[in-house]
Amino acid sequence: MNFNNIKYIFLKELRSFFNSPVAYIVIVVFLVILGWFFTSNLFIANISTLRTVFEMTPFLLLFFAPAITMRLISEEKKSGTLELLITKPVKESEIITGKFLAAWALYFFTLLPTFCYYITVSFIGTLDIGPVIGGYLGLLFVGAVFLAVSVFGSSITENQVVAFIVSFLVVFGLFMLDKVLFYLPTSLATYLEYLSVDYHFSNIARGVIDSRDLIYYVSAVGFSLMLGTAVLQKRRWS
């Protein structure tokens, strides 16, 4: 892996997010929806907590992750620029990684303003810092998994709509897995539970940082990016 190549691709993609309306629409819409859920509940419940942020964000990400990433590779395929990219001395894995990191960075910038909820709540009540750090860390990990899966979704087609729907279905499956487990026999459920994004997130969001959860997130991201790389490599043998 050549880290310079990853850096160049990352910067180019990040710049193109912010040069187009994409970044601003994503950030504004995300914050409006999240802000509405957060404030409408805060004073009724009268609990100084950021739980709404941590519960709503994975749900919103189901839509935002495929939306952010859907054009990343499919558009390069459609316009033919992928041919330019691949005939440069750049590895497929570097292309996928650079693009994934750019999407993750955009997600980070989207999440950044929600930190003012923390400031607000800590002014009007006492807020336990542990779950907040854990929650944000968990959100970053959940986002990484959803975005990596969606980058893979974008790599399999040259149609952005198809990319969005495929990514959404996979991400939705990973999200819903632990919510349908009680329909399944317990022996199977324990394994499937481990695949669920939300199950690992709820651990971290409680402030417990367990190596099993970290391994899950890292391997899920790595596996998705490897699949995306394999899709790009397969083209050479078509």
Partner 1 sequence: MSILVENLTKSYGDAKAVDNISFEVHSGEILGFLGPNGAGKTTSMRVITCYLSPTAGTVKVEGHDVLTESLEVRKLVGYLPEQNPLYFDMNVIDYLEYSAQLQGVFPSRIPARLKEMVDVCGLGEMKHKDIGQLSKGYKQRVGLAAALIHDPRVLILDEPTSGLDPNQIVEIRSLIQNIGKQKTVVLSTHILPEVQATCNRVIIINRGKIVADGPIADLQRNLHGGEKILLEVEIPDEQSFEMIAVQVRNIPSISTVSLVSEQNGVKRFTVETASSIDIRKELFQLCVQKRWNLLELHREQTSLEDIFRELTSDVIPR
Q: Which residues bind partner 1 (CB under 8 A)?
A: 4-5, 8-9, 12, 15-16, 19-20, 79-81, 83-91, 235-238
| Matching residue, tokens 């632990």 | 178
Answer yes or no: are the C-beta atoms of 9 and 102 closer than 8 Å.
yes
CB of 10 to partner 1, least distance (A): 11
Q: Give the nearer residue to partner 1 in terms of CB position, either 55 or 75.
A: 75
- Which residue from 222, 237, 231, 235 is spatially nearest to 1, judged by alpha carbons? 222
Of the pair 89, 185, the CB lying nearest partner 1 is at: 89
Minimum CB distance to partner 1, residue 18 (Å): 11
Minimum distance from CB of 226 to partner 1 (Å)?
Answer: 19
Least separation in angstroms between CB 154 and partner 1: 16
Task: Compare residues 20 and 39 and give the one whose CB is closer to partner 1.
Answer: 20
Q: Which residues, at least 6 apart from 44, have a Cβ–Cβ distance to it below 8 Å?
A: none
Helix (H, G, I), strand (E, B), or coil: what is residue 55?
helix
Which residue, among 208, 215, 202, has the nearest Cα to 58 in the 3D structure? 202
Instruction: Compare residues 160 and 224 and give the one whose CB is closer to partner 1.
Output: 160
